[in-house]
Amino acid sequence: MTEISVYSAAIMLTKRLGRLAAVLVLVAAVAFTLAKLSPIDPVNAYLGVDIARVGPEQRALIAERWGLDQPPLTQFLHWAGNLLQGDLGYSMIYNAPVSKVIASRFWVSLPLVGLAWLFSGLLGFALGVIAGACSGSVVDRVIRLSAYVLASAPTFWIAILLLIIFAVQLGWAPVCCAGPLGVVPDAVTFGDRLRHLALPLSALTLFGVSQVALHTRAKIIEILEGDAALYARAQGAGKWDVALRHGARNAALPAVTILFASLGELFGGSILAEQVFAYPGLGQAAVSAGIKGDVPLLLAVTLFLTLFVSVGNMIADMLYRLVDPRLRDDALSAGGQYG
């Protein structure tokens, strides 16, 4: 039985890695095609305000320098060949290797996305447990209505609303950026970083709360209506005791699974939040690369986010198998057929 389990796990891992590689190739091809179909001229975007002072000969030299004078297929194959050798290319708009741009921007976005992922999970789970335990009450209706509103509201709208209220009108938080203007990054204090992180983090946290809250609420109601909860109530346990001891414990793993599966939406929301608050993270770099036609940076960011989200989905799929034993049995049966 152990050999079958190991063999089936190896087969599943190989299939997943193969699908991941196919997804990365497809995403790279689609992103490159869309970038080439864009009306943005990379040379014009690179020159910016100096475009009027550059003649046709200089434009041709710039295009040759960046390989933009070659056919699109040749450009893509050249980029793919360099990628296989570990070279992500050179960013035109940041005038630096793409790998350095992604590394620096990723460490700026990581606290924002990571803390939003954690806080949205904790807040959504707590609200879901409360709503499920108080099913049908005013508290339940308020939480459900709030979750539906947050689920339907665009991230940029939430971010703009927070910006207007707390930064512009009340003045409690900075308007933009990851640190005070005019201060070099090494001189920014930890307190300043927290102040500049507060509003983007709040916007992104609110964006991710609704799914976890609604799913946890449904799971808590299902558990409280089950035979185990009925038996616990018959022994004298209170509603909240059953909800916390039985409901929350059994609903925790599905909630974490939902969190991992929603990484893609969270990254999409971070791009919009970073744009509203001018937060210099990976999402803002991706938007700048798309607007200014920086194809190497755009492709690298796209592949990086695809890889990150795909790994999150793989973790979610494995957690599903822990939650539902029937999925494990199906996997073992499939492994036995291969054996």
**Helices then strands (H, E): number in the chain?**
15, 2
Confidence band for 237, pLDDT divided at 50, 70 and 90: low
pLDDT(334) > 50: no
CA distance 91 to 117: 29
Q: pLDDT tens-digit profile of 295-313?
A: 888 888 888 888 888 887 7
Q: What's the confidence (pLDDT) of residue 153? A: 85
Q: Print burial letters for 235-262: b (CB count within 10 Å at least 16), e (below 16).
A: eeeeeeebbeebbbebbeebbbbbbbbb
CA distance 92 to 242: 59
Confidence band for 186, pLDDT divided at 50, 70 and 90: confident
**Can you name the residues that pair with 90 across neighbouring β-strands?**
97
Q: What's the confidence (pLDDT) of residue 339? A: 42
Confidence band for 71, pLDDT divided at 50, 70 and 90: confident
Question: For residue 320, which of 266, 264, 265, 258 has the smallest C-alpha distance?
Answer: 258
Q: pLDDT tens-digit profile of 77-96?
A: 888 888 888 888 888 888 88
CA distance 105 to 86: 19
Cα separation of the two ends of the chain = 11
Element (H, E) at 146: helix 138-152
Size of the chain, expressed as the number of residues it contains: 339
CA distance 230 to 218: 17
List of residues 6+ apart from 129 with CB closer than 8 A: 216, 217, 220, 243, 244, 247, 248, 251
| Higher pLDDT among residues 267 and 185, named by residue | 267
Q: pLDDT tens-digit profile of 2-50?
A: 555 566 667 777 887 888 888 888 988 988 888 888 887 777 777 776 6
Superfamily of domain 98-324: MetI-like (1.10.3720.10)
Where are the chain's structural domains?
2-91, 98-324
pLDDT(335) > 60: no
The count of C-alpha atoms lying within 13 angstroms of the C-alpha of 153, restricted to the half-sphere facing its C-beta, is: 23
Please provide the average confidence, as pLDDT, over all residues in the chain: 81
